Amino acid sequence: MNIIVLFGPPGSGKGTQAEILAKKFQLKHVSTGDLFRYNMKNDTKLGLDAKSYIDNGKLVPDELTTEMLKDELQRNSDQKGFILDGYPRTTSQAEALDVLLKELFQAEVNVTLALYVDDEVLVQRILKRSLDSGRSDDADENIIRNRIKEYYEKTAIVSDYYKDQNKLVELKGEGSIEEITRSLSEEIEKVV
């Protein structure tokens, strides 16, 4: 079982790249943001519980998020691997992921690929994306800036967790989609 983590701030291109790479390497793309949006759209209890956090650009509490991820991994246990997009976002999620992967699949994260993009580029990219995404958290600049703040306050530190295990590869997230796919693919090919 191969587990690739795509890491980076909102708007760094994780979702776009995860979709392409999942097809290329036959991995199941799991986006916790997409799972939350699905639950909100369908008015599930989880969707209702998560909504106020998401609408304010805050992280959803770890327990809710990890439970949702666990369900999704279990539901897809026939897959040959996963590309995780948007999880883990806190050190406690990273620790929970290790436990889950071991418990469910006797597996571990192969590599964490971190994309770095200038903050102002992130804001502009997300505002542009809002024209198609229909996401209310993409359309408001204050919410976008809150999401970036959450990233620096709670998520950026997660890179140390993987660096300490020699599992972190840092890449420039600016350039054409194809260029970035190429550099991510080279790193994935080294570990799968």
Note the residues at the interface with ligand AMP (CB under 6 A).
Answer: 10, 32-33, 36, 53-54, 57-60, 65, 86-87, 89, 93, 137, 147
Closest-approach residue to ligand AMP (CB): 33
CB of 149 vs ligand AMP, minimal distance in Å:
11
Nearest residue (CB) to ligand AMP, 52 versus 76: 52
Tokens 């469910």 correspond to what residue? 104
Of the candidates 89, 88, 115, 122, the residue with the CA atom closest to the CA atom of residue 184: 115
Question: Cβ 113 to ligand AMP, closest distance in Å?
Answer: 15
Q: In whole angstroms, give the CA distance from residue 144 to residue 64.
A: 22
Of 87 and 162, nearer to ligand AMP (C-beta) is: 87
CB 109 to ligand AMP: min, Å: 14
Going by C-alpha positions, the residue among 136, 122, 160 that lies closest to residue 41 is: 136
Considering the complex, state which of residue 55 and residue 186 has its C-beta at the smaller distance from ligand AMP: 55
- Chain centroid to Cα 58, Å, comes to 15
Closest CB 25 distance from ligand AMP, rounded Å = 20
Q: Which residues of 160-188 are buried (b: 16+ CB within 10 A; e: fewer)?
A: ebbeeeebbbebebeeeeeebbebbeebb
44 vs 190, beta carbon nearer ligand AMP: 44
Q: How far is the CB of 72 from ligand AMP (least distance, A)?
A: 12
**What's the CA gap between 174 and 118, in Å, rounded?**
8
Judged by beta carbon, residue 25 or residue 53, the one nearer ligand AMP is 53
From residue 96, alpha-carbon distances to 5, 122, 190 in Å are 14, 28, 25
